[in-house]
Amino acid sequence: MKVVKGNMKTQTEGFRIIHELPDRIRLRLARLAQPYFAVPEFEAQIADLDGVRTVRTNRPARSLVVTYDGRAEVRASLLQWLAALPPNAFLNRCDPEPSSRPNRAPLIVSSLALLLLPLLPAPLKAAVTLASISPTVIKGIRTLLSRGVKMEVLDALAVSIAAAQGGFFTANATHLLIQTGGYLEARAERQAHGLLKRLLKRPPEQAWVERDGELRRVDASEIRENEHVVVGPGDSVPVDGRVEHGSALLDQSALTGESVPVRKEQGEEVLAGGLVTEGRLVLRAIRVGEDTAAAALGRYIEESLRRPSDTQRLAEQLGDRLVYLTFALGGLILALTLDPRRVASVFLIDYSCAIKLGTPLAFISGMHDAAEAGILFRGAQALENLAGADTVVFDKTGTLTHSRLEITDVVPLRSDRSAEQLLALAASLEEHTRHPYAEALVKYAEHRGYRHVDHGAVEFVIAHGLNTVVNGRKIFVGSRHYLEKHVGISFASHEQALSDRFAEGKTLLYVAEDKTLIGYVALRDQVREDAAGVLARLKTLGIDQRIMLTGDARHRAEALAAELGIDQLYAEQSPDDKLRIVETLKAAGGKVVFVGDGVNDAPALVSAHIGIAMPRGALLSREAADVILLRDDLEGLVQARELAVRTLDLIHSNFRLDVVVNSLLLVAATFGWLPPIAAGMLHNGTTLAILTRSLKQRAIPGTLGRSGSFTAHPDLGNETEPTV
């Protein structure tokens, strides 16, 4: 096959080099001026390039500074990558503020004013002070007129009181502290939003596609459904697709958090964002662009940043009310002491900053830690609700069990038939149908190297079974109802043995020859290896009720419930029944978590306080869920609960710390023991300490040995043509 390059940009439109050293380059990029440009993602992608050491952007100046190891190929790769960016790359539809870099200009102006102050005559000191503190004063006036008495109003009063008394140094120093605190708080907020944004890398901007018998390099955004996409070592998968040819090891940590690459072969589905570490795949594109799983997860994370929790709203309200307490205390002190310095000190101490900022940052940090472990929360409320849950309701199939069957027994009932012969006979017929029982049976037989049995034409009896002729004898495979009612075969002599299998929760597939039952194959849902352990750990984490809801037959459900230690079972339930039971549990006062994966689970997922979807579940169930587990195991459920509880504990302890420290500072300021400058320094220090504590990343128990990262790092500058 001929390989050509299509639509590959080599010009340097959109940027130019401003300054360059052997290991450092400064560029001007027009796209940095765009308000919705995702700076954290952009910086993270450049930092991933081989040889790059540091990346720094300045949005107001539209400047990008990159330091690297000095190699010419690294420089060329960087420029080539920038040149190849489509015009709409890294543009987000979400609120641009968290991605904007805090402005340092007010800090610089305040610092210069403070340094120049001793050198100026008295009239100029007043003018410089007025000019320096004017942003804080204006902000306070605007806040008072638009929102009432808030912390900005207290700050404005504090610096104004100092300046009015002729304390120009105190006014400027206090203003600098306020500006520094605001700048550091803005940086902390930006860092928090950036945590989640950086978890999801963007799909590759270029990809190899087969078109008209040729392999073309095109923008990933141009790939169409059903086109064939080729990915080789070092390539990131640009679409959700099905493997048509080849096999490869795929690093899926960008989507699942799993550190061990998984093998993908013909017929299996591959998701966008995976990285080929070994091998080569030809994929047929199933979902492209904004329809891919990676794009959906990106929207999920963006949505999570815009969903405050009840605790966040309460923190906002409490913080606003506490401002009035500080304001009233300042007024009382002025009336009793007529000491403006004490009033200024009191106004610089406030409970609201740490409460209002620390709470959302703790939630964002918690969601980030969860995402690194392969758990996505749809907003802070989901995390808060999970922390308070006391009841977990499990759907059975695909949740406590895998969405596949396993063969447990092959039992011949005649002495002239062996288990191997019975298996070969049943598999030779069942390979002609796509029923889940048939797929499990055929895969089991193939794994054991069975020999195909020649047979005549196969006749299908829908929803019952099938039959054919082998060596002149009529062979039937199917359900008991089919063999007993339609064929007239007696089961009387085997009732006890069959009852024992049913008591074990197994499904039986029967094989008959002419009018005689010659054997059966026992199947059961493949129970997740970690299910029993997870249920036991949930009990120790405060989950009082562990309930199983299923539409499966009662005998099978009861056997599984007994094996796993389920507290309560509802079997043979319809989707409407599942919803009704969840509503009943809620009405009884339970804080209900529902874990499911099927389309019929969507109503219950929405109704529960927390809906948790498994990764292999139906798209509708994932859309309805509040939490998505990206790894196909139940361990993530325990980790999610542990992290949710820990995050709420952190928020509560932050609140206690804020109240105790600031109360002590207010007492000291009230009695005149704390001058305004010291009050500002100690208050801001306390606030920043709480914010830093909120942002501290903490490993989730049980994730050691995993990559725990959503940032699989493909070689974005790789232009190597794949072998065809």
Q: Hunting for tokens 């799909």 — which residue is that?
A: 203
Which tokens is 262 given? Answer: 């998984």
Residues 184 and 177: their CA atoms lie apart, in Å, by 11
Answer for the pair 354, 181: CB distance below 8 angstroms, yes or no. no
Residues 527 and 530: their CA atoms lie apart, in Å, by 9
Segments of 413-506 assigned E as strands: 459-461, 465-470, 473-478
Name residue 653's amino acid: S
The C-alpha angle with vertex 669 and arms to 665 and 671, in degrees rounded to 5, equals: 120
- For 558, residues 6+ apart whose C-beta sits below 8 A from its C-beta are 505, 569, 571
Which tokens is 326 given? Answer: 């500080």
Residue 283 β-bridge partners: 229, 243
Q: At what angle do helices 310-337 and 380-387 cross, to 10 degrees?
A: 100
Name residue 456's amino acid: G
Helical ranges in 20-121 per DSSP H: 39-47, 72-83, 105-116
Sheet holding 401-412, edge to edge: 401-412, 516-527, 507-513, 473-478, 465-470, 459-461
Among residues 210, 208, 333, which one has the least CA distance to residue 276? 208
Gap between the terminal Cα atoms of the chain: 6
Residues 691 and 574: their CA atoms lie apart, in Å, by 48
Answer for the pair 146, 336: CB distance below 8 angstroms, yes or no. no
- Which DSSP letter does residue 61 get? T
Give Cα 191 distance to the centre of its chain.
Answer: 17
Q: Identify the three-state secondary structure at position 207.
A: strand
Answer for the pair 154, 323: CB distance below 8 angstroms, yes or no. yes
Reported as type and span, the H/E element at residue 350 is none
Residues 32 and 474: their CA atoms lie apart, in Å, by 76
Name residue 556's amino acid: R
Answer for the pair 22, 77: CB distance below 8 angstroms, yes or no. no
The C-alpha angle with vertex 240 and arms to 238 and 241, in degrees rounded to 5, equals: 105
Among residues 517, 525, 475, 474, which one has the least CA distance to residue 498? 517
Residues 426 and 571: their CA atoms lie apart, in Å, by 30
Helical ranges in 565-600 per DSSP H: 575-587
> 680-685: long-range contacts at Cβ-Cβ below 8 A with a sequence spacing of 24 or more?
680/158, 680/173, 680/174, 680/177, 680/178, 680/181, 680/348, 681/177, 682/349, 683/348, 683/349, 683/350, 683/353, 684/177, 684/178, 684/180, 684/181, 684/184
Rounded to 10 degrees, what is the CA torsion of 48, 54, 55, 56?
Answer: 160
Residues 319 and 360: their CA atoms lie apart, in Å, by 13
- For 460, residues 6+ apart whose C-beta sits below 8 A from its C-beta are 432, 433, 466
Among residues 385, 404, 403, which one has the least CA distance to residue 597? 403
Active centre residues (catalytic): 395
